[in-house]
């Protein structure tokens, strides 16, 4: 019997195959086909990830989270149509998901930057096809490309100046993560692709040592998102992920925060689930991000006690300004609440808070 273990390294590429199939699928059958193929991809991922050679724990967690995150919107849209706002183009989203899964697997610096560049263009395609006005999408593309250029510059500078390399890489990562003031906001239809890109950047930053600037920028971004005219709950998750990626052994927590941003991008687009965001503000139970917050505070309390107060203060402002609402709605809302609570318990188990 022929050994096929070498083919398992192609596991992260299944979203690209789905994108190719959907590109030639008739328009009326896209929603159902996307849901079926995405579910099949999740099942294949769950079965093959444990036996795929060359994957560490960070890669396994990232691939599973991205698979579930990219499948959830299409399954919800197929099973309960009519609740979503706007129309998401599936092809660029699945292309971006494939790039992110490759990044979660881990690679050298230059291949990772190249895949990030491909993901940036996938996000631009998702936003350009969603907006009637292309200017905001082009502005975001310019910011992302500036981040790619800075990462490439840091790579080719090499060890000539460690400080310069660290500064260029950190600023490039911050631009790709969207940390700091945001001159443009993504279209609701492109929010999923943007959130997936953030997960890929977090996966890359978590594997690169010495990203103190990214961690500090994440802490500042928590406050900027909290004090915005409308609190940006998804951006808070990305900022928390940046802080976690900077800390020792924080890659898994960073990916959980990134997956939270993907989950919120899906929930916010559905009118029948939008109220779920106000329950806990994305950082309190039952959300999985709560386990990540505890993990970050536990690590910060060892060497950076002052940052714990600043971190919790920003999250407190987000929760107060966003409001901690009651859970109201039908059986679908309660089902989503139970599902999110289960994810929160799984996140706590993964980070070692539950024996």
Q: Is 243 helix (H, G, I), strand (E, B) or coil?
A: helix
Against a cut of 0.85, is the pTM above it? yes
How distant, in Å, are the alpha carbons of 41, 67, 264 from that of 61?
15, 10, 19
Q: Using CA atoms, how far apart are residues 258 and 248, in angstroms rounded to an integer? A: 17
Q: Is the separation of the CB atoms in 144 and 175 below 8 Å?
A: yes
49-90 per-position pLDDT tens digit: 887 777 788 888 888 888 888 888 888 777 776 656 556 678
Looking at the DSSP assignment, which residues form a beta bridge with residue 84? Answer: 270
For the chain, the average pLDDT equals: 78
Q: Using CA atoms, how far apart are residues 50 and 348, in angstroms rounded to an integer? A: 20
Question: If pLDDT is split at 50, 70 and 90, which confidence band does 280 have?
Answer: low
Is the pLDDT score of 3 beyond 50? no
Is the pLDDT score of 220 beyond 60? yes
Instruction: Give mean pLDDT, residues 180-206.
Output: 78
Helix-strand-coil percent breakdown of the chain, rounded to 5?
Answer: 75, 0, 25
Q: Is 270 helix (H, G, I), strand (E, B) or coil?
A: strand
Instruction: Give mean pLDDT, residues 178-206.
Output: 78
100-153 per-position pLDDT tens digit: 988 888 777 788 888 888 988 888 888 777 655 567 777 788 888 888 888 888
**What phi, psi does 121 have (nearest 5°)?**
-70, -30
pLDDT of residue 26: 85
Q: Is the peptide bond before 109 cis (omega within 30 degrees of 0)?
A: no
pLDDT: is 60 or 344 the higher one? 60
Burial of 3 (0-12, 13-18, 19+ CB in 10 A): exposed
pLDDT of residue 307: 80
117: Cα separation from own chain's centroid = 16
Tokens of 263: 């989950």
């Amino acid at each position: 019997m022929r050994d096929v273990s070498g083919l398992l390294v192609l596991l992260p590429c299944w979203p690209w195959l789905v994108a190719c199939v959907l590109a030639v699928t008739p328009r009326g059958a896209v929603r159902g086909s996307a849901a079926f193929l995405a579910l099949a991809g999740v099942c294949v991922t769950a079965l093959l990830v444990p036996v795929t050679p060359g994957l560490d724990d960070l890669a396994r967690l990232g691939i599973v989270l991205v698979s579930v995150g990219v499948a959830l919107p299409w399954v919800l849209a197929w099973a309960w149509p009519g609740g979503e706002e706007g129309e998401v183009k599936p092809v660029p989203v699945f292309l971006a998901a494939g790039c992110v899964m490759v990044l979660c697997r881990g690679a050298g610096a230059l291949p990772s930057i190249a895949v990030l560049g491909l993901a940036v263009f996938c996000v631009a395609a998702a936003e350009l096809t969603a907006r009637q006005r292309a200017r905001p999408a082009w502005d975001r593309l310019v910011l992302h490309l500036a981040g790619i250029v800075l990462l490439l510059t840091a790579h080719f500078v090499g060890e000539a100046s460690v400080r310069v390399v660290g500064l260029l890489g950190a600023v490039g990562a911050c631009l790709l993560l969207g940390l700091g003031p945001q001159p443009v906001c993504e279209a609701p239809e492109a929010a999923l692709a943007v959130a997936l890109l953030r997960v890929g950047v977090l996966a890359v930053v978590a594997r690169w040592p010495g990203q103190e600037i990214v961690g500090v920028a994440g802490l500042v971004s928590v406050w900027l998102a909290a004090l915005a005219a409308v609190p940006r709950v998804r951006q808070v998750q990305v900022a928390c992920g940046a802080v976690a990626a900077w800390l020792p052994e924080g890659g898994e927590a960073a990916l959980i925060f990134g997956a939270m941003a993907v989950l919120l991008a899906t929930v916010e687009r559905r009118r029948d689930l939008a109220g779920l965001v106000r329950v806990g503000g994305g950082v309190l139970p039952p959300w999985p991000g709560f386990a990540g917050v505890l993990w970050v505070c536990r690590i910060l309390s060892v060497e950076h006690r002052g940052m714990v107060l600043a971190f919790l203060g920003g999250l407190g402002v987000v929760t107060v300004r966003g409001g901690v609402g009651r859970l109201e709605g039908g059986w679908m809302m309660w089902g989503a609440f139970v599902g999110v609570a289960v994810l929160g318990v799984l996140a706590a188990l993964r980070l070692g808070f539950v024996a």
